[in-house]
């Protein structure tokens, strides 16, 4: 279960950074979110007959000052429910500062506690030198100061969900992989996103929701099964908000659903029936 809620908070996993180059995901010029928005999610674990909500996640964004610049500040938290703390206690907290128009990250802080595992990241992005000045501390790995080379179309946990929402799905060919790089710890990964077209899904507490359906590949390893893709459903309306996701684990699967939202820019017209 190590790093389980990192994946929950951002709603999908990472692919290895391969040498193959993908077209970066196209961004829309239309604003899809603004300051003071808050999204809350329930995270469930399914294995056989077991289908239980084990954790919650929250994503909030606000305007803030970093030096002389006005940026978006994203606050991402995830935690196991009190009952499941007894078995495996997880606390995730990410903060990110990114540009309002380009979504380019400028700073990121990660503070992770999962059972006996802990990790702390502090990233400062230097876009002139194309370097991330990183301080990384992890259980059994010690403390390190690193310089990580920057690549195109990169994000981090606090800015990731907003990059997804800013995608212009109308410019993404069905079935074609599009790339987005992702920085965490001492590594930059590449996510491969595929537009699967429109799909209507039933979301508990919301009803039937018309969505843009995306898939992304996963890496076979200690946690992930590796022979199925992560599935993501974004509302097919002005907000393009994530309403559900599903991810295969080596044992069972993980599902997240939107529980509540505050201060969306547009009405949720994608909800077609209760």
Q: pLDDT of 151-205, one tens digit each?
A: 888 999 899 999 999 999 999 999 998 988 889 899 888 788 899 999 999 998 8
What pLDDT score does 119 carry? 93
pLDDT tens profile 96-126: 999 999 999 999 999 999 889 899 999 999 9
Give percent above pLDDT 70 in the chain: 85
Report pLDDT digits (tens) over 64-103: 998 889 999 999 999 999 988 888 888 999 999 999 999 9
Whether 4 has a pLDDT exceeding 80, the answer reads: no
Closest CA to 6 of 247, 190, 214: 247
Tens of pLDDT, residue by residue over 220-264, are 433 344 456 789 999 999 999 999 998 876 667 788 999 999 999
Q: Residue 11: which pLDDT band, with cuts at 50, 70 and 90?
A: very low
CA pair distance 147, 134, nearest whole angstrom: 6
Domain with 66, as residue range(s), is 4-273
Residue 251: the pLDDT is: 63
Extended beta strands in 82-235, E state: 90-98, 105-114, 117-126, 131-138, 142-149, 154-155, 177-184, 187-203, 207-216, 230-235
**Beta-carbon contacts of residue 135 (< 8 Å; ≥ 6 apart):** 120, 121, 122, 143, 144, 145, 146
Distance CA(253)–CA(255), nearest Å, equals 7
**What is the rounded average pLDDT for all residues in the chain?**
85
Is the pLDDT score of 266 beyond 90?
yes
Each residue of 191-210: pLDDT tens digit?
888 999 999 999 988 999 99
| Total of domains in the chain | 1
């Amino acid at each position: 279960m190590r790093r389980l809620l990192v994946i929950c908070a951002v709603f999908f996993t990472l692919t290895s950074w391969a040498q193959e180059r993908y077209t970066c995901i196209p961004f829309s010029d239309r604003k899809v979110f603004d300051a003071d928005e808050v999204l809350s999610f329930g995270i469930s674990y399914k294995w056989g007959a077991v289908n239980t909500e084990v954790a919650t996640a929250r994503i909030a964004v606000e305007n803030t000052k970093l030096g002389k610049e006005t940026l978006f500040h994203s606050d991402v938290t995830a935690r196991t429910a009190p009952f499941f703390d007894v078995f495996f206690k997880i606390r995730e907290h990410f903060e990110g500062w990114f540009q309002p128009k380009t979504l380019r990250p400028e700073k990121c802080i990660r503070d992770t506690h999962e059972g006996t595992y802990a990790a702390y990241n502090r990233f400062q992005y230097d876009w002139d030198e194309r370097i991330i000045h990183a301080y990384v501390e992890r259980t059994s790995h010690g403390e390190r100061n690193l310089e990580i080379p920057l690549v195109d179309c990169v994000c981090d946990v606090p800015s990731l969900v907003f990059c997804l929402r800013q995608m212009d799905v109308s410019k993404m060919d069905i079935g074609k992989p599009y790339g987005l790089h992702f920085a965490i710890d001492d590594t930059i990964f590449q996510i491969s996103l595929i537009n699967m077209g429109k799909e209507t899904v039933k979301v508990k507490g919301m009803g039937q929701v018309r969505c843009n359906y995306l898939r992304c590949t996963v890496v076979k390893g200690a946690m992930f099964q590796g022979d199925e893709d992560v599935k993501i459903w974004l509302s097919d309306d002005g907000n393009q908000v994530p309403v559900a996701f599903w991810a295969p684990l080596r044992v069972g699967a993980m599902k997240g659903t939107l529980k509540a939202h505050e201060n969306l820019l547009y009405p949720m017209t994608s909800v077609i029936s209760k």
